[in-house]
Copies of this chain bind each other. A is one copy, B any other.
Amino acid sequence: MKTTNLIALTVGLFCVSQVLAQEPMKMKPEMTEFWDPEVTVVTPGAQPSDAPSDATVLFDGTPGSLTANWVGRDGNAPKWNVADGCVTVARGTGVIQTKEKFGDVQLHIEWRTPAEVIGKSQGRGNSGIFLQERYELQVLDNYNNRTYRNGQAGSIYKQYAPLVNVCKKPGEWQTYDIIYTAPRFKEDGTLFTPARFTVLQNGVLVQNNVQLLGPTEYIGIPEYKAHGNGSLILQDHGNPVSYRNIWIRKL
């Protein structure tokens, strides 16, 4: 066969294969551009730690914002101490919890363990943040203070150790930025999807979308029970841990 014929044949085969390899019909850029509904505009805070315009400020440093948004377990006004723009656990007065109940949320909260170091392991600067009254993100002074890995600051208590120990020194303010997805339940009360946490501590990822095994349990294996929205709870574990700049956004 002459060279030109060979070329013709090759081109012909190539065309056939082009025909057989059926690409989907070519689209235009505008076909993947969705304009509506318009995305809701929110004004951010001056700093990332500041509440944006759509947040509920749960505590702004004033006694008034504490009593407006929180109660003790008995339903009365919280007995914790407000001073210097923060609220501090008053030992033995019990937890404080939000009047409002929440589901999925973004939560910003700042906390400080006592500058004076007393105790060790779980005994040093212990408190905790419970989402929906059940799922605890641990607050603890773990600066040069070893404890069980799934019980230290940044842990989902007794379920997930933090990815890193990024604690500041005692007496320094620390931040948690929390993305929380509430569990869902089926009509028969069994679990559909578990609770999930993503947590940044001092700007560093410590929990990456972990799926909880159930409510926080000090003893034994967690087990889900169906529930609806729940309060945010701050724990009185007997140590004068302080909190400030608490804001929450419903997701």
What residues make up the interface of A, taking CB atoms closer than 8 Å to B?
21-45, 47-50, 52, 54, 104, 106, 108, 146-152, 158, 161-168, 174-175, 177, 179, 181, 184, 186, 192-193, 198, 200-205, 208-209, 211, 213, 217-221, 249, 251
Assembly CA distance A114 to B34 (angstroms):
25
Interchain Cβ contacts under 8 Å between A and B, 17 examples? A22-B35, A22-B36, A23-B36, A24-B31, A24-B35, A24-B220, A29-B218, A35-B147, A38-B149, A41-B165, A42-B166, A44-B168, A48-B48, A48-B175, A181-B208, A184-B192, A208-B251
What are the residues of chain B within 8 A of A30 when measuring CB–CB?
Answer: 24-25
Q: How far is the CB of A184 from chain B (nearest CB, A)?
A: 6
Q: Which of B42, B149, B200, B202 contacts A164 (CB 8 A)?
A: B42
Task: Please give, as numbers and ranges, the residues of chain B lying within 8 Å of A213 by CB-CB distance.
Answer: 213
CA A50 – CA B200 in complex, angstroms?
A: 13
Q: Is the CB of A209 within 8 A of B204?
A: no
Given A27-B220, A54-B164: A47 touches B203 (CB 8 Å cut-off): yes
Q: Given A35-B22, A48-B200, A193-B193, answer yes or no on A249-B41 (Cβ-Cβ < 8 Å).
A: no
B-side contacts of A168, CB under 8 Å: 44
A233 to chain B, nearest CB (A): 20
In whole angstroms, how far apart are the Cα atoms of A216 and B36 in the complex? Answer: 20
**With A42-B166, A165-B39, A204-B42 as given contacts, are A32 and B149 in contact (CB-CB < 8 Å)?**
no
Other-chain residue from B21, B44, B54 in contact with A203 (beta carbon distance below 8 A): B44
A99 to B218, CA, bound (A): 44
B166 touches A205 (CB 8 A): no
Q: A204 near B33 (CB under 8 angstroms)? A: no
Additional A-B contacts beyond A41-B166, A179-B198 (5; CB < 8 A):
A22-B35, A24-B220, A25-B31, A26-B220, A179-B208
